[in-house]
A and B are shown apart, each in its own frame.
Chain A
Amino acid sequence: MSALTVSGLNKSFGGLHVTRSVDLDIQPGERRLIIGPNGAGKTTLFNLITGELSPDTGSIRLFGQDITKVPSRDRPHLGMARTYQIITLFGKDTIIHNVRLALLGLSPMRWNPWTDLRRDGRFTEQGHRALARVGLTHIADRPLSQTSYGERRRVEIAMALAQEPKVLLLDEPFAGLSIDERRDVHKCLMAIPRDVTIVMIEHNMDVALEFAERITLLHFGEVIVEGNRAEVVEDPRTREVYLGH
């Protein structure tokens, strides 16, 4: 059974057809890279998959279950987690509190109005474990406002990992990072076990190509080329629309 199946997905904003009959079939444990020039509809596709936008036609299946009509807030509970291209974190809080919120989101405890969250050892302990996976345990109690951009990227990933997703959607996890920071993030991603399926949007070809097994090239909302690393890189259409040389 596929981890994530997208079939015949369409989305228009007025006259702008941003997703055109997109089909994706992603196997459990796969590392899929989605590439495409600016405005190809990559992030829109993510927003459709996570339910932040609803498609005009088409369906989305998660491990065989049709989730097209499932509200986006319920999808994390079914094992789907995402990160954002534009860092979306809780800037007034500490790193550990950010991760705690990710953990709390899947716990029935989130409706509890009388216990002290900070004294609840379970969330803090699990949060530290998630932070260890991205190498941030040593600064867990630091306010987010005092962290670097690269550290924030890793907090994003830690929050997604804390939810122990089956399918992880990464929207440009390397965007805006220095070479050193890129290496750190790359190391975190490589350490994610194979029971997590990863779909990643990325512009940074050198790191991304190394990471992905299969690549989908989007152009004007359409899937142009799909295949393994060599096939896509060699394909003349890829060179034409994306690599540009």
Chain B
Amino acid sequence: MIDLIAGTNRLRLIAIAVVLAALVTLPFWVSGIYYINVGSQILFFAVFALGLNILVGYAGLVSLGHAGLFGISAYATAYMLQLGAGHTTAIMVALVIGVASMAVFAVLSLRSSGIGFIMITLALGQILWGLAYRWISVTDGDNGIPVRGRPAPFGYSLTDPVNFYYASLIVFIVAVAMVFIFVRSPFGAALMGTRDQPRRMNALGYHVWMIRFYACLFSGLLTAVSGILFVYYTNFISPQTLALTASAEVLLMVISGGPGTLLGPIVGATLVVVIKTVVSGFIERWNFLLGAIFVAIVILVPEGIVPGSVRLWHLIARKRAATPAAAEAEPTATERTP
């Protein structure tokens, strides 16, 4: 059993190293700008999914309004640029507005958890979507706001898709590192405690509401960052980005990949983006395919692709270990021995 766990850990490290190397070298082995752009999309949607996973996976709070927060940061960036602000100012304002909106969301929706939380976030997300549609003097309604140009930090113009990809990759790696550290921290442990036993956490001296509130702010920060990358990527923002379907999509990324895991949302984001952008070029009914894949996930690995694959891997490894040496050691029995 110990060998198996050590093996899984080693496998995990190797997998991470391979993925990281693949991501860094992607522009060299991928032909064409199109696929580099797909890579950028995967990266910033992964940041978005990581942000939502803070709430869904680690706090046990399912939000259906996150596209609203994603969109409001994108709109803030676009609007500031339209007003003639510089990129730094626009990005800063968008971050503040994104996190502040999340704070308002949190104050209103943390009055409940479970279904109540879902419904309040859903309603708030719809309000933002409605504002994007109807507050025409700011958002230009259905027409949306175009964004001209991308920033050029340290002289690297992000207008070049490869540079934009690398900028997204840096943001992505920083986001993953932040979540990785957060999850192991005392505050992360406290957050997961409030997910599993809020009443007990309260009796142990934790301020459950405040812990959830701070978790919301962290989630809001990652969401705002991804929204800003999105608006620079598409150079355009319209109300569609804030729609309920967008909130559901990012939630599906988290749930399909594996909520409460670090890699789950990244895998989920990859799956959804690849099907939406690449596969949809070959299969007209890509929505059907995506739906079928989700059904398959629910049936085969209901806990999500990442934890589900780990479970299946263990199962296969155990079976393989049991078959040749069944007489020597029955693994389940070994496992039970204290």
Contacts and interface: CB of A to CB of B under 8 A. Distances in A.
Interface of A: 50, 52, 72-77, 82, 84, 88-92, 97, 100-102, 104-107, 109-118, 120, 139, 142, 159, 163
B184 A111 contact: no
A124 B86 CA distance: 50
Interface in B170-207: 181-182, 184-190, 193, 196-197, 199-207
B186 A117 contact: yes
B338 interface: yes
Contact of A77 (B197, B199, B205): B205
Contacts of A92: 196
B204 A114 contact: no
B100 interface: no
A96 B338 CA distance: 16
A104 B185 CA distance: 11
B200 A52 contact: no
A163 B204 contact: yes
B208 interface: yes
Contacts of B202: 52, 72-73
Contact of B186 (A74, A75, A104, A139): A104
Contacts of A50: 203
B196 A105 contact: no
B180 to A, nearest CB: 10
A101 B211 CA distance: 14
A88 B188 CA distance: 20
18 contacts: A52-B203, A75-B205, A76-B203, A82-B203, A89-B197, A90-B196, A91-B196, A102-B204, A110-B186, A110-B206, A111-B187, A113-B182, A113-B185, A113-B186, A113-B214, A116-B181, A117-B188, A163-B204
Nearest to A159: B204
Contacts of A88: 197, 199-200
Given A73-B208, A110-B186, 20 more contacts: A72-B202, A76-B204, A82-B203, A90-B193, A90-B197, A101-B189, A101-B204, A104-B190, A111-B214, A112-B185, A112-B187, A113-B185, A113-B186, A113-B188, A113-B214, A115-B185, A116-B185, A117-B185, A117-B186, A117-B189
B193 A101 contact: yes
B205 A116 contact: no
B58 to A, nearest CB: 12
Contacts of A113: 181-182, 185-188, 214, 218
Nearest to B260: A92
Contacts of A101: 189-190, 193, 201, 204
B184 A117 contact: yes
A7 B196 CA distance: 35
Contacts of A97: 189
A82 B2 CA distance: 37
A232 B208 CA distance: 41
A74 B184 CA distance: 25
A115 B186 contact: yes
Contacts of A118: 184
A100 B189 contact: yes
A105 B181 CA distance: 20
A163 B205 contact: yes
Contacts of B186: 104, 107, 109-113, 115, 117, 120
Given A50-B203, A105-B201, A114 B181 contact: yes
